[in-house]
Amino acid sequence: MSKLKLHAIILAGGSGTRLWPLSREEYPKQFSNIIGTDSLLQSTYKRLLHHFGQENISVVVGDNHKFEVNRHLKEININKSENIITEPLGRNTAPAILYGTLKILSNVDDALIFVFPADHVIENAKAFENAIRGADLLAHEGFIVTFGIKPQYPETGYGYIEGGDPIEEGGFRIKRFVEKPDKEKATEYMNSGNYFWNGGIFAFKASTILDEFREHVPEIVELLKSDNIIDETIYSKLPNISFDYAVMEKTDRGAVLPVSFKWSDVGSWKSVFDFLPKENNNNVLKGDVVTKNSKNCLIQGDRRLIVANGLSDIAVVDTDDAVLISHIDHSSNVKSIVNELKENGRQESLSHHIVNKPWGYYLNLNTDDGYKVKKIVVNPGCKLSLQKHEHRSEHWIVSKGTANVINGDDTVIVKEKGAVFIPRQNVHRVENIGDTPLHIIEVQFGDILEEGDIVRLEDDYGRLSN
């Protein structure tokens, strides 16, 4: 049998609310530099380059985050926008993996595909290389392989996989998947030697996985077949189901391959604390932080000084608009807290004060009765959506750069220190026609200053709005 070409799918969806307030629904953790100087997505991509090459790495992401994926890849000199596969909306990992697989199969007859979450961290390059090699061989034999992380401690926040009969490469047939256990069970699993953390990394032949989808969840295959136009209407009909539930818990081809590299899904501030190196008092400190008589703490600053005195086992995470203070062992409860914030209509559950856009970003500076002040930064060659407002007017002051402004029937050039007034109901747009970022201070006036007071004629990509 000829050896198939290796391809990688990076799953870059998800909201990452368990790492709030750093991670938000509109800017999830895969775009943050939680470990090191690269974002988690960038680290994942770099890790795979040696094994797969740019041509054979695809990123599956929701339509609302594709511009952010593209920006992060460009920052590490990867210009492969054609390999960014966009889902119209999120439907969990089973549809995402099949959709990515079918995109790869549109160019080749078959392939050996690995699937990696974008927001995990892995260390020990040699052990990772050995795992890739072993999974490659098992997948060629028709197995659907998942990496099993050898438990380092009795973790209750992970699912486990029980290994059954041994197979080649030190792997096991999968006997069963186990949901998150209590501490007693987790200790028993750790000591048994044949239970592993479920790392969410997979390897399989494209033809094999397509057969398994057809057998176990044929409705997904039917909806994603090539002669369908894959839009939001089609995607909304897909079941919201994980790859584990859809395929791995039903197939008789499942194999778990134990791996020895250091791994974390950075799924809570406790897991971030466990992964990162500590200073003398076993603290993880990031930012402008001063501690006294404090130990076993994770303290992460943003722009201001944080002073911690007499603290033990505490997580403190400071961002521009919110501060989390939690017992380190209870940090996994953050997800439920974020759900409460969302139910109460708190914007902090969704986004930061800095909101990233395809064209750049904006920062909310101040809001009061009848007015709002924003700083808008537009990247060179980019432009905002063509829009108008029903209930507010806007005053734009250019603090840096040169802007081309559509304002009703007029088009004007506004240079540094210049300004323009946008009356209510005027169709308008700003474009950066310079070589450096364009900085604008926007002052909004009106009775309604919410994002909903926008009528878009074209979106941020220049597409006509419905």
Rounded distance, CA 276 to CA 44, Å? 17
User: Does the global pTM surpass 0.95?
Assistant: no
The partner residues of 368 in beta bridges, in order of sequence, read 371
Interval 334-339 mean pLDDT: 92
Measure the CA–CA gap between 285 and 269, rounded to whole angstroms.
13
Token pair of 50 as six digits: 């040696």
Nearest to 376 by CA among 394, 390, 391: 394
Q: Which of 10-14, 129-133, 398-402 has the lowest mean pLDDT?
A: 10-14
| Neighbouring residues of 2: CB distance < 8 A, sequence distance ≥ 6 | none
User: What torsion, rounded to 10 degrees, do the Cα atoms 128, 133, 136, 138 define?
Assistant: -100
Average pLDDT over residues 326-351: 91
Least confident range from 34-48, 72-86, 195-209, 355-369: namely: 355-369
Q: 294-308 pLDDT, tens per residue? A: 999 999 987 899 999
Token pair of 271, please? 């897991």
Helices and strands, counts by H and E, the chain = 11, 28
Question: Tens digits of per-residue pLDDT, 194-232?
Answer: 999 999 999 999 999 999 999 999 999 999 987 788 899
> How far is residue 440's CA from residue 375's CA, in Å, rounded to a whole number?
6
Domain extent listing, the chain = 6-267, 270-333, 354-456
The CATH number given to 354-456 is 2.60.120.10
Model confidence pLDDT, tens digit, residues 346-404: 988 888 878 888 899 999 888 888 889 999 999 999 999 999 998 889 999 999 999 99
> Quick check: 86 pLDDT over 50?
yes
Would you state the pLDDT for residue 112? 97
Model pLDDT, residue 227: 79
> Is domain 6-267 given the CATH code 3.90.550.10 in the classification?
yes
Question: Identical fold at 6-267 and 354-456?
Answer: no
